[in-house]
Amino acid sequence: MVDQLTRPEATEGPGIEPLIPIAPATFPYLWFSGRQVPWEQATVHVTLVGWPSIGAVFEGIRGYWNAEQAALYIFRLREHMARLEMSMKLQRMLPRFSAAELTAALLDLCRVNDAREDVYIQPLAFTLGSMWGSRAAMGQLPEVFITIRPIESDLLKERSLTAGVSSWTRIHDRALPPRIKAIPNYANSRLGSNEASRHGYDVPIFLNQEGTVAESSGSCIFIVRKGEVVTPPVTASILESITRDSVIELARTALSLPVHEREVDRTELYASDEIFLCGTSMEVTPVTEVDGYQIGAGRSGEITGRIERLFHDVARGIDSRYAHWRTRVE
């Protein structure tokens, strides 16, 4: 309970004006390597901007507020923490905090900030000092911080996106591992997103080194053809997406739809009856045009709509099934 927690006192700062104005706090506290810190006090020196991020890994997690139940449900918290552990392991970061400790810290942070709305929660781990993975840096403990901010869900809002196949190839496991959530991977996403905007599209769709469909800049992709749901496999240069996993499970078990994880050709995109993107930020969002080709009837398809509604109801705890995916902040 909020009242039983000791809130850290906001102490007076050193009286020095920050060189760059600090983004205003959306919630008063964040968590930094073991303690709750008032937002304004969580600053670092300007010389640390840049290099520590090349080894940084993070998670993006949503909390859905259910007003009727006065409950905040964190979606698939266990899986997000497991992926953070995997990302840190691949970056050879020392396990300074266990998944259980980070989970407790995250839930405490929701309580101390009295979060009673839809939220986006981001744990991020980075290592200071030697950036090149030298032996000396290997022994260094990572810093971890967790931030929380309000974010409105776009589910059931009947929005849709246009997409363009990118001229940039998705990063490959032989260079940067797309399966983990590492900051450097987003340099590739950024190139694709910039190109898509310049060409008038909302989002890019990347092909991988083999020339088949990979994913978008911050979300995974599903197509629907002849009643079958198809998505590229986790070996197609994609993030091991938790929303993708959830959609597969919901489509198969609750909607009894055939789902195939297999390579997807570029022209299959154009020939699809429906396409949607999915991810923690993206949730489930229809794509109605790719490279100027209209997809299906040019609006959200029937199967996409069913998946989106079910995803919404499950994530928000309106549908009581899949209870193991929801962590209620008590």
Q: Which residues bind ligand PMP (CB under 6 A)?
A: 60, 181, 189, 215, 218-220, 239, 241-244, 279-280
Residues 6+ apart with CB under 8 A from 40: 10, 13, 22, 25
Minimum separation from the CB atom of position 220 to ligand PMP (A): 5
Catalytic residue, from 89, 157, 181, 226: name it: 181
Smallest gap from residue 135 Cβ to ligand PMP (A): 31
Select 103 or 243, whichever has its Cβ closest to ligand PMP: 243
What type of residue sits at position 98? S
- Residues contacting 112, CB < 8 A, separation 6+: 2, 5, 7, 28, 29, 36
Q: Which is nearer to ligand PMP, 76 or 224 (CB)?
A: 76
- Rank residues 36 and 91 by Cβ distance to ligand PMP and give the closer one: 91
Q: How far is residue 165's CA from residue 52's CA, in Å, rounded to a whole number?
A: 32
- DSSP-based three-state secondary structure for 195: helix
Nearer to ligand PMP by Cβ, of 218 and 317: the residue is 218
Question: Given the complex with ligand PMP, which of 112 and 118 has the nearer CB atom?
Answer: 118
**Does residue 125 contact residue 52 with C-beta atoms inside 8 Å?**
no
User: CB neighbours of 6 closer than 8 A, spacing ≥ 6?
Assistant: none
Taking the complex as a whole, the smallest distance from the CB of residue 3 to ligand PMP amounts, in Å, to 33
Give the nearer residue to ligand PMP in terms of CB position, either 244 or 316: 244
Kindly give, in sequence order, each residue whose CB lies less than 8 Å from that of residue 79, ignoring residues fewer than 6 positions away.
242, 245
Q: What are phi and psi of 79, to 5 degrees?
A: -70, -35
181 counts as catalytic: yes
Residue 179 · residue 238 · CB < 8 Å = yes
**Nearest distance, CB of residue 241 and ligand PMP, angstroms:** 3
300-304 — which CB contacts under 8 Å span 24+ positions? Answer: 300/158, 300/160, 300/274, 300/276, 301/224, 301/273, 301/274, 301/276, 302/274, 303/224, 303/227, 303/229, 303/251, 303/255, 303/257, 303/274, 304/224, 304/274, 304/275, 304/276
The nearest distance, CB 13 to ligand PMP, in angstroms, is 34
Q: What does the alpha-carbon distance between residue 111 and residue 327 come to, in Å, rounded to a whole number?
A: 13
Min separation Cβ 289 and ligand PMP, Å: 21
CB burial of residue 174 (10 Å; 0-12, 13-18, 19+): exposed
Active site residues: 181
